[in-house]
Structure 1
């Protein structure tokens, strides 16, 4: 009987220890909340930017080969097919990246928050991100960014255009003027 009670006591202690080991660290839970609350439309924009960057890299890789390998007569059709496939690639890249956000959060951001913030600071961050003013700020941010970008483009457009003209003149000296189309020779009779 003592052996059975002893075995049960040891099993109970083992179960208790393993259940405590599996208990979630409160700091980790608060860090997860902070990470979840801080991500929003900015994350979607970042994912789209990464996916589009991957698509642009693919397009750049294939441009020279496309120009040299596809006969002129077929280039319009091939370009249409290529661009459609490139759009599919970008959409798939977006899905792949989006699917990995949680893993990147768990493996990178959550540990960093846990390392750099106390439990109390994490609680304060959650309170901050959940506040109505931050929610309003997040809602307003896309409009604020659009207004800023529009104004920045408007105020720099003439200077950028002037610099582009200067660049074109220098690039033409380096590369040479575009070759003029050679007129077709009349057929001999």
Structure 2
């Protein structure tokens, strides 16, 4: 009986050691570390953009309905109510997407990093993302990106408006100047 208990104890120890060895794969550990280091303001911005894109789809669907189904006198109030609901939707959607980041990162990115990079490369990448300069960059990159985008929009606005006017002029020649039919209404021939 004592030999059986000893044998079971050794077998259990061997299994535990094997599992720890699998879990302690240095490449996987470094890949997990890199994925965690990559999370931050840029990932927050990505989840915000994804939620914003989903919100834009709703706006495109419901804006014409607001115009066509709600009397003009009530459109302002209805618009405010829809905007409040859109904000709730956008916030909820961003949270739902954010909750999936860790799981998808672990399922997709960790194995991809471990497969594509050597241990030495993973160590270098981890050191890179741990450096104070990169941490500062990750913190300020969204703000700098927004500044750049705003200045780019400002700098190109006049040219884009001019080009839109040219498009409108060409479209009038092709389609004519009649008002567009209301969404959902029959088109005139």
Question: What displacement does 1:125 show?
Answer: 0.8
- Aligned CA RMSD, in angstroms, stands at 2.2
Question: What displacement does 1:77 show?
Answer: 1.9
Cα distance in 2 for residues equivalent to 1:70 and 1:150: 34
Q: Which residue of 2 aligns with 1:129?
A: 129
Contact 2:129 2:135 in 1 (8 A): yes
**1:120-155 deviation line (CA, Å, top 9, x unaligned):** 211111111111222233344245324433442343
Question: What displacement does 1:85 show?
Answer: 0.6
Cα distance in 2 for residues equivalent to 1:132 and 1:77: 49
Structure-to-structure mapping, 1:1-189, within 5 angstroms: 3-22=1-20, 23-177=23-177, 179=179
5+ residue gaps, structure 1, are: 180-189
5+ residue gaps, structure 2, are: 180-189
- When residues 148 and 78 of structure 1 are mapped into structure 2, their CA distance, relative to the original with a 3 A threshold, is closer
Q: Which residue of 2 aligns with 1:183?
A: none
Cα distance in 2 for residues equivalent to 1:171 and 1:24: 64
Number of equivalenced pairs: 177
Scaled by the length of structure 2, the TM-score of the pair is 0.81
- Higher Cα Rg, which structure: 1
Q: Which residue of 2 aligns with 1:185?
A: none
